[in-house]
Amino acid sequence: MNFLIDHNLRGHSVLLAGSLSASGWLELISIRFVLFEEVGLAITSSDRIVWRYAQANQMILITANRSMKGKDSLEQVMREENTPTSLPVITISNVDRLLTEPDYRYRCINRLIDVVVDIEDYQGSRRIFIP
């Protein structure tokens, strides 16, 4: 499964990838974190553009602070365009804890694994807050 990492989570994704590797998950499940610049998305891309890109390329967006106000806010986009087969958006509830608390980080990893393993159960659910 490919995860599109929101531009403000670049450093966080390094920690997540390291934790996935250290816990042995990457030997069992194919997970790849993809950055905006790798796919040609500008960091100023609207939530609508980012969501549509992730959906079109079968990627799960991981974010922490996408807007909930306005016609192109992530929440509005999901309300308008989400379908029963849309992949969810994963929102990290507390990015500061992700950086400073290993237990919190591993709980986030476990939720990511749950979503990947049972992705059919999460399609259409719009947003999943982790851990």
Give bridge partners of residue 105 from the DSSP assignment. none
> Average model confidence (pLDDT) for the chain?
94
- Domain borders along the chain are 2-130
Give the pLDDT of residue 70. 79
Q: Please state, in angstroms and rounded to a whole number, the distance separating the CA atoms of residues 35 and 41.
A: 9
What local confidence, expressed as pLDDT, does residue 65 receive? 76
The CATH class given to the 2-130 domain equals: alpha beta
DSSP state of 61: E
The two most distant CA atoms of the chain are separated, in Å, by: 41
Q: What's the token pair of residue 99?
A: 């950086």
Higher-pLDDT residue of 71, 17: 17
Name the strands in the sheet holding 89-92, side by side, starting at the edge strand that comes first in the sequence: 32-35, 2-5, 59-63, 89-92, 127-130
Is 5's pLDDT higher than 80?
A: yes
Per-residue confidence (pLDDT) for residue 71, from 0 to 100:
85
- Residue whose token pair is 């079109």: 56
Structure confidence at residue 67 (pLDDT) = 60
Distance CA 54, CA 16 (A): 19
> Is a pLDDT exceeding 70 seen at residue 62?
yes
- Enter the pTM of the model: 0.93
**pLDDT range class, residue 69, cuts 50, 70, 90:** confident
pLDDT > 80? residue 104: yes
User: Mean per-residue pLDDT for 18-42?
Assistant: 95
